[in-house]
Amino acid sequence: MFSKVAIKGDAKHPLYAALQSASGEVGWNFEKFLVSKDGRVLKRFGSDVEPESPELLAAIEAALK
């Protein structure tokens, strides 16, 4: 879980490949993705969005309903 993985190129980790196919190229490793129970990307947040920001928390709460 905490080891480094490639997010670009031929060695791209399968998780990043799936996220990118759903929402475009990952520009920075601090981007956040809200993923549904069935694996769909519901929303994407840039690296400038804090983990406890009201925007992100509201999106998580809405997804849990």
- Residues 57 and 27: their CA atoms lie apart, in Å, by 22
Contact 42, 35 (CB under 8 A): yes
Report the pLDDT value the prediction gives residue 27, as an integer from 0 to 100: 75
Report the pLDDT value the prediction gives residue 26, as an integer from 0 to 100: 80
Nearest to 27 by CA among 43, 47, 9, 11: 47
The total number of residues written for the chain in this structure: 65
pLDDT in tens, 3-62: 888 888 899 889 888 988 998 888 777 889 999 999 999 999 999 999 999 999 999 999
Radius of gyration in angstroms for the set of CA atoms belonging to the chain, rounded to a whole number: 12
Residue 1 pLDDT exceeds 70: no
